Amino acid sequence: MKHYFLVLVSILLMLSGMTFIHASAAEAQLFDPGAKLSAEQVAESTGILQKTADSTGMNIVVILGNEQRSEITIESMTDSTYRQIYEKNTDGVCLYLDLSNAPSRYNYLYTTGLAEFYYTNAKTNPRINQILSEMKSSLYTNDISGALSVFAEQLEKYYSLGIPEHYYVYDDVFHEYRHVENGEIISTLNKPYHDPQKILLGGLFGLIIGIGAACITNISVHSRYKFIYSLSPTTYLNKKSVHYLQQTDTFIRERTTKTTIEESSRNHSSGGGSNGGGHSHGGHGGGGQHW
């Protein structure tokens, strides 16, 4: 009904000589081929998801799967379902809930556009994994409507938190990095951000190598002169032509120098940075979880 109203308004404005441009609103759609929910539950859950779509500006598609499928089939089905409904380069997510009788079921969340950056799949920032985990308790009790409500809450939660600082994704199909600047997705051939911790660690490692090289050089120099003794007057004498009337073996003085080289610990640990490392495949991201 809403779409018919917008079309009617557009026609009226065009007839009056005015131009009318409207942005496509985000939508929420719920597919339940196995009738896991009642008609009332479908309407209620769709309404909840629509509110989240309105607040985030992202399309939301949910598929309640009722057949046993492989992980690859589920991921491919989720990808193709979203792309058949919405145009390329749109912002949105598509959730597949595995409600089959398989011994190990697999839920998958597809992300595209800006959703890739709000709902991250990096090891250091696994938001998708956390979203799917939050729904498990409801799914275990067969509360599908409750799981969808949790899903909507999680989407809004991470949208409100914003894109993690210096977050980027690497697309292994297009071989490019993508990040967001001023709300726009930017593609580059080189990594857009560098982890300051790794830079500091690299500099520290180089300093340690330099100190180690200096110590080795110092030890080498000491070893070279350690076995060189001072010359004695007898060195230049012909022992066959010299006769000693008296010999005395006397130490005038003795001085020993000892140098101790202390080696500091070289074990350094580095934690993973929180600024990036997400993965993308052909312009979209995603992540799955068994339950």
Model pLDDT for residues 154-211, shown as the tens digit of each residue: 999 999 999 999 999 998 888 999 999 998 999 899 998 765 454 444 445 455 555 6
Q: What is the pLDDT of residue 149?
A: 98
Q: How far is CA 207 from the centre of its chain?
A: 29
pLDDT digits (tens, 9 = 90+) for 97-116: 999 999 999 999 999 999 99
Q: What is the pLDDT of residue 226?
A: 52
Beta bridge partners of 171: 176, 280
pLDDT digits (tens, 9 = 90+) for 196-252: 454 444 445 455 555 655 556 555 555 554 545 455 555 544 555 555 455 544 444
Q: What percent of the chain has pLDDT over 70?
A: 63
Residue 255 within a domain = no
What CATH number is given to the structural domain containing 77?
3.10.310.50
Residue 232 within a domain = no
Residue 260 within a domain = no
Residue 189 within a domain = yes
Average pLDDT of the residues of the chain = 76
pTM: 0.65
pLDDT-based confidence at 39, cuts 50/70/90? Answer: very high
Structure tokens at 138: 């409801």
SS3 category, 42: helix
Q: What is the pLDDT of residue 274?
A: 44
Spatial distance between the Cα atoms of 224 and 18, rounded to a whole number of angstroms: 93
SS3 category, 5: helix
Count of structural domains within the chain: 1
Beta carbons of 121 and 93 less than 8 angstroms apart: no
Residue 12 within a domain = no
Residue 116 vs residue 269, higher pLDDT: 116
Beta carbons of 164 and 125 less than 8 angstroms apart: yes
Q: What is the pLDDT of residue 89?
A: 87
Range of 84's domain?
Answer: 26-194+276-290
Q: What is the pLDDT of residue 257?
A: 36
Residue 186 within a domain = yes
Residue 88 within a domain = yes
pLDDT at 136 over 90: yes
Residue 206 vs residue 18, higher pLDDT: 206
Rounded mean pLDDT of 54-58? 97
Residue 180 within a domain = yes
pLDDT-based confidence at 88, cuts 50/70/90? Answer: confident
From the number of C-beta atoms within 10 Å of its C-beta (0-12, 13-18, 19+), residue 57 rates as middle
